[in-house]
Amino acid sequence: MSLELIIVIAGAFLAAFGVGLAGFADALIAAAVWLHVLPPVQAVPLIMATGMVIHLLSLAYLRKHIELSLLWPFIVGGAIGVPIGTWMLSYAEPKPFRLVIGAFLLAYSLFAFIRPHVKRMDTSRSVDGAVGLVGGVLGGFAGLSGVVPTLWANMRGWRKDVQRGVYQPFIFVMHGMGLGWLAGSSMLDRSLLTRWLWCLPAVILGTWLGLKLYRRIDEQQFRRIILGLLFLSGASLVVF
């Protein structure tokens, strides 16, 4: 087994564990590991393909917490946003957008740690749809579909199971749409299937361990984990 393959498998395990525990950040975790050994044209499809399995495994456990009445505005908005994001990718440089999103995540997570009892947001479905739209655009443009919906679900003050029942199916659908777009653009090759198959055992184990730990944490601990991951996500976007 080559060193490259070991690193790829390790990245898959870490990404799966993060999703099992918190429900998001698989793309950021995997990219932080895989981009050291894979070019983006190979890393991005693998992130989407493994991410679909990771989220599907977690959603099988969380399926009773998926509330379609809360989820559908995000999905509709995201479906509109993904093609916009992919269109923007042909005309704009993703780095400035990554810096702006990263700086906002850093500011919000620090503020939320300092002021833990901020009033919960109570808005309409149209606003939720707009958040999904932004998530879809960022997903098609820079691979960041889950960050804004996760942030919004946290601001809404929903219980941890409700939060994951919204943003995790959203990420799953956006991964599927992104992978479909890449397939339609003939950007997938046989090496993707090979690496994906090697990653499957690590994905299953990492997701199982993450979910096992998730069952043991309370609402406050979950909120701190989410804020910590949002902070690290923002830092990675700003630094890298």
Residue (of 108, 84, 59) closest to 227 by Cα position: 108
Q: Tell me how far apart the alpha carbons of residues 129 and 125 are, in angstroms, rounded to a whole number.
A: 6
Is the pLDDT at 116 greater than 80? The verdict is: no
The reported pLDDT for the residue numbered 114 is 76
The reported pLDDT for the residue numbered 38 is 87
Is the pLDDT at 142 greater than 70? The verdict is: no
Is the pLDDT at 2 greater than 80? The verdict is: yes
pLDDT averaged over the chain?
Answer: 86
Per-residue pLDDT, averaged over 23-29, amounts to 84
Is the pLDDT at 95 greater than 80? The verdict is: no
Residue with tokens 């992130």: 47
Q: How confident is the model at residue 150 (pLDDT cuts 50, 70, 90)?
A: confident
C-beta separation of 11 from 127 below 8 A? no
Whole-prediction pTM value? 0.83
The reported pLDDT for the residue numbered 9 is 96
Domain range annotation of the chain: 3-239
C-beta separation of 123 from 67 below 8 A? no
The reported pLDDT for the residue numbered 233 is 78
Residue 6 amino acid letter: I
Check residues 39 and 170 and name the one with the higher pLDDT. Answer: 170
The reported pLDDT for the residue numbered 5 is 93
Per-residue pLDDT, averaged over 11-34, amounts to 88
C-beta separation of 78 from 145 below 8 A? yes
- For 174-184, write each residue's pLDDT tens digit: 988 888 877 88
Per-residue pLDDT, averaged over 124-134, amounts to 91
Rg (CA), the chain: 17
C-beta separation of 199 from 50 below 8 A? yes
